[in-house]
Amino acid sequence: MQIYLPIAEVSINAFLLLGLGGFVGILSGMFGVGGGFLMTPLLFFIGIPPAVAVATEANQIVASSFSGFLAHFRRKNVDIKMGFVLLVGGIIGAAIGVQVFALLREIGQVDLLVKLCYVLFLGIIGILMFFESLRAIRRSKNTSLKRPTKKRHNWIHNLPFKAKFRTSGLYISVIPPACIGFIVGILSAIMGVGGGFIMVPAMIYLLGMPTKVVVGTSLFQIIFVTAFATIMHATTNYTVDMALAVLLLIGGVLGAQVGTRIGLKLKAEQLRILLSLIVILVCLKIAGDLVLEPKELFSLDMGIKH
Amino acid sequence: MTLLVSFMITSNAIAERLVAQLSKEEVAITANFDGSEIFIYGAIKHENSNKTTDPLEVVITVSGPAEKLHVRKKSKHAMIWLNTETIEIDSAPSFYAVASTGALKEVINNTENLKYKISIREVIRSIGNPATIQNPTDFTEGLIRIRSENKLYQDLDNSISLTDETLFATTINLPSNLVEGEYTIRFLLARDGKVIDQLSTTIPVNKVGLERWIFDLSRQQPLIYGLLSLFIAIFAGWLASAVFRYIRI
């Protein structure tokens, strides 16, 4: 069944969109990522204009992350206090990121820089996470009885403005989480993603939060940052396609519920190794697009303001 | 220009006139719009039935709203393919189809093609390219190639049927990725490679119903539109969560 999208101005099969939403939704619920890093490139691929894809994706992530967040919230797997600290940084970052994006558009290299950002961040995070999870699995096999509960004391613990994050079981400064939120905010505006794939590893490895809490807390922050981005895109670029968003989010919210339940059944290390493999795969695909000779050397850019 | 054209036509001793009709008055883009077709037909009035040896030919062009755009070209720098050259096209139709009774090159001679801007290459206008661009025509060809693959530019040689040099008919297929606006349909009557009569009409292509409502809201009330999009997203997220909890208990 073909459906004509009013803002994107293209006709796409509705079931394809539902399926894409469902697939990405499952990942979203499993890993606490918005799924934007997968969905945005997929939307480009099926012929949605990039500007519409980025903006609509922000809207869709609101839905899938809210659905996933509720599922985690009921299980008390959300550190609301930590979420707010991340959020303050995130909103400031997103506001700056939108300005950076506009600047890059002027130069006409936004496409390249977005792709380079993807390759760089997905590559680093994917590889780091993959090897860390492998080590964790080996460790749990060797000494299955004693779980290493050694508190790591590094420079992060010497910063001021310490606060108690009861749900995470942490007593740390609010500066590192606010900074993480800020960086994620910038990247989410530039890359058209929620930023979970950066935030989740950062919370685990930099802040030392327990994996179970990380997913729900990350979703909490993503809801607000992507909602902010949706409004910004709708009012400045008119690129949010409501019909496209509805189709994606029907699949997305259902997928997120299924994904959350799958995620609860898997061990944290297995979850991380799976996510790292997906991240590496997407990274390689985008890197390939940059390095291999494209079939069509020319491209059209209709976004010229009259 | 118009004056010149009418002069040429009236000065022609053999007067043939075109009469044309479209199968529909507008193209409505609905939610399940998946392309459309327009059946175009008409007749040639022979006012002076002075038979000459050269046969009559008909050319029909359909063009969508023109727009300004950039064509970018990639080249390899330090292992990476990136956009290095850009030219600005001042005006290119978002849709363009040329149908003719024979091969366009034989039906219309080159001078007439230039004068009446019939083939797609004549319609695309680009002026003042930077001197650093070596082959600006490559960019135009790239544009034509990309749009042809998406069925937005169509060369339809031998696609008009002409019966007894009087009745003609053709069908133009409009793809699903159509842009809104007034589409212009031109009819040209030619003999011996020269245009002897022309006629043009327009057909509106418009979004209707829900499509219309969503589009207008997004442009006229962007903040409300954005908030509504958010509300739908939050509601859908909550609904899915609630439904699943209900099922699982």
For B169-226, what is each residue's pLDDT tens digit? 999 999 988 888 999 999 999 988 889 889 999 999 998 888 899 999 999 999 999 9
Q: Which of B229, B238, B244 to mutate to test the interface with A (most CBs of A within 10 A)?
A: B229
Mean pLDDT of A99-111: 71
A298, pLDDT greater than 80: yes
For tokens 């300004």, the residue is: B68
Does residue B223 belong to the interface with chain A, where contact is any CB pair within 8 Å? Answer: yes
CA distance A39 to A27: 11
The answer to which of A51-55, A168-172, B13-17, B195-199 has the lowest mean pLDDT is B13-17
Tokens of B169: 């008919």
- CB–CB of B170/B42 below 8 Å? no
Residue of B nearest to A304 (CA): B69
Q: Strands A170-173 and A162-165, how do they pair?
A: antiparallel
Which alpha helices (H) appear in B81-195, and where do they start and end? 104-107, 110-116, 120-123, 136-149
Q: Identify the band that residue A17 occupies on the pLDDT scale cut at 50, 70 and 90.
A: very high
The closest of A65, A115, A126, A62 to A290, measured between CA atoms, is A115
Report how far Cα B247 is from the mean position of its chain's Cα atoms.
52
The closest of A156, A173, A194, A238 to A60, measured between CA atoms, is A194
Look at A298 and B72 and tell me if their CB atoms are within 8 Å. yes
* Res B7: pLDDT: 43
CB-nearest to B234 from A62, A297, A298 is A62
Look at A70 and B68 and tell me if their CB atoms are within 8 Å. no
Q: Where are the beta strands (DSSP E) in chain B?
A: 16-22, 27-29, 36-46, 56-63, 66-77, 80-93, 96-100, 153-156, 161-163, 167-174, 181-191, 194-207
Q: Identify the band that residue A35 occupies on the pLDDT scale cut at 50, 70 and 90.
A: confident
User: Residue B47, SS3?
Assistant: coil
Mean pLDDT of A16-26: 89
- State which of A153-157, B4-8, B65-69 shows the largest mean pLDDT: B65-69
CB-nearest to A306 from B35, B68, B241 is B68
Chain-wide mean pLDDT for chain B?
A: 85
Residue of B nearest to A109 (CA): B83
* Res A252: pLDDT: 83
pLDDT digits (tens, 9 = 90+) for A208-253: 888 888 888 888 888 888 898 888 888 877 888 999 999 998 888 7
> Can you tell me the ipTM of this complex?
0.78
Distance from CA of A137 to the nearest CA of B (A): 31
* Res A107: pLDDT: 66
CA distance A101 to A189: 7
Please name every residue paired with B71 in a beta bridge, in sequence order, or none if there are none.
A300, B87
- CB–CB of A64/B236 below 8 Å? no
The closest of A250, A256, A193, A217 to A38, measured between CA atoms, is A193
CA distance A210 to A216: 11
B49, pLDDT greater than 80: no
Q: Where are the beta strands (DSSP E) in A124-238?
A: 162-165, 170-173
* Res B52: pLDDT: 62
In angstroms, the Cα distances linking A72 to A76, A156, A297, B61, B105 are 6, 27, 46, 59, 68
Indicate the pTM of the whole model.
Answer: 0.76
Distance from CA of A185 to the nearest CA of B (A): 18
Q: Identify the band that residue B6 occupies on the pLDDT scale cut at 50, 70 and 90.
A: very low
Q: Where are the domains of chain A?
A: 2-141+154-291
Look at B237 and A234 and tell me if their CB atoms are within 8 Å. no
- CB–CB of A226/A188 below 8 Å? yes
